[in-house]
Structure 1
Amino acid sequence: MSRVTRRTVVPLLLVLVVVAGIGLYLFQPWKAFTETTVNEALPTASAPEVKDGRQMKGNAGMQGGDPSMTSTRPKDLAEGRFVTHEHDTSGTARTVRLADGGQVLRLEDLKTSEGPDVRVYLSSRAADEAKAGLGDGAVALGKLKGNLGNQNYTVPAGTDLSKFRSVVIWCERFSVSFGAAGLAPVSG
């Protein structure tokens, strides 16, 4: 029977510590037991009314001022429900045009898993196809703010939302889709 010496055990323990550290960094297993809830309101913006060919100034339409200044409501452009890919995912995705012309993606009643590097993308692929990848021309909207709740992501100016067929919750580190929502135009 061979004797285990200190010369053998110490290097082996160092290797195990390094491997465990790398594994913890990559997989972040504690995220399987954590949740982050975000509950943001849909952003609103007041668009100045044009009267007699002139844009009205100031905030007169707000808080009891000039009633000729009216707030314009956000307009839904497209929406869809999430389907599960690699992790249980549910909720609704909506693209919205704000009164000031800006566009946002709104995730409502989102429920998914946390992960080490989860992001939100617009994809030209259908929701079912996004399981295989984001496809060409995908637009990153940022890190997922929370795995539960309601949240907004600003769509970059100049983005033609009609070219995108889905919203994808994507883990960058492992190149997998947690889930995706198809975007169907809203009539009206």
Structure 2
Amino acid sequence: MKRVRKMLGRPLVTGALVVAVAGAGLGLYWFQPWKLWQDRTVEEALPEAVATSAPPAATAPSSPAPAPATVAAGDLISHEHATSGTVKLVRLTDGSHVVRLENLDTSNGPDLRVWLTDAPVREGRAGWHVFDDGRHVSLGRLKGNKGSHNYAVPQDIDLARYSSVSIWCDRFDVSFGAAELTGA
């Protein structure tokens, strides 16, 4: 009888250990908890449009070159994680647009994206999951969880259809923070 218990006990313990180690490995991969203690700071200047041709050498004094213009802006509010900073929708001198995050400060996380959305920004838990309910465009991976950076808006996007920006965690379908864009 002891021999039977001994033979059954070892495979069960070994199997339980294998399952526990595999579960811990998958959990670490999925949640990436170390990112909560790692910051990535990115500082980018506002891009400038590239001139297509040089002006003639002997021309009359011209007016100053047009500068990038802020079309809309808003302050980030916290959702799933404490988030602060400013979001600006900027029209560059060549007519293209970028979403600019300035003085961003949020938690790092797995699979964070910058989304341009049509969802209203709501305070607290009510705002965590609304951004994937309607129209949204991913502008790319979040370059850093701190600093100031730019995200190009595709040329074919009708900006009148979008009213907010979210720092979106694609892995867990939750907003880390968001800003309502209002006209400048």
What's the CA shift for 1:130? 4.4
Q: In structure 2, what is the equivalent of residue 172 of structure 1?
A: 170
Among all aligned residue pairs of Structure 1 and Structure 2, give the percentage whose two residues are the same amino acid: 46
Do residues 59 (structure 1) and 67 (structure 2) align?
A: no
Q: In structure 2, what is the equivalent of residue 13 of structure 1?
A: 17
**Structure 1 residues 50-82: Cα deviation after superposition (integer angstroms, max 9, x where no partner):** xxxxxxx62348xx9965485320011000000
**Other structure's SS at 1:146 match:** coil
Number of paired residues?
175
- How well do the aligned residues superpose, as a CA RMSD in angstroms? 2.3
Partner of residue 29 from structure 2, selected from 25, 42, 46: 25
Structure 2: stretches of 5+ with no match in the other structure: none
Structure 1: stretches of 5+ with no match in the other structure: 48-56
Alignment of 1:29-44 (within 5 A): 29-44=33-48
Does structure 1 retain, via aligned residues, the 8 Å contact 2:129–2:173? no
Query: Which amino acid in structure 2 is aligned with residue 106 of structure 1?
Result: R
In structure 2, relative to structure 1, the CA distance for the partners of 1:77 and 1:65 (3 Å cut) is farther
What's the CA shift for 1:161? 1.7
Report the TM-score when normalising by structure 2: 0.86
The structure that is helix-richer by fraction is 2
Cα distance in 1 between the residues matched to 2:27 and 2:65: 52
Partner of residue 180 from structure 2, selected from 179, 182, 186: 182
Cα distance in 2 between the residues matched to 1:177 and 1:112: 11
What's the CA shift for 1:158? 2.2
Do residues 85 (structure 1) and 79 (structure 2) align?
A: yes
In structure 2, relative to structure 1, the CA distance for the partners of 1:172 and 1:7 (3 Å cut) is same
**Other structure's SS at 1:42 match:** coil
Report the TM-score when normalising by structure 1: 0.85
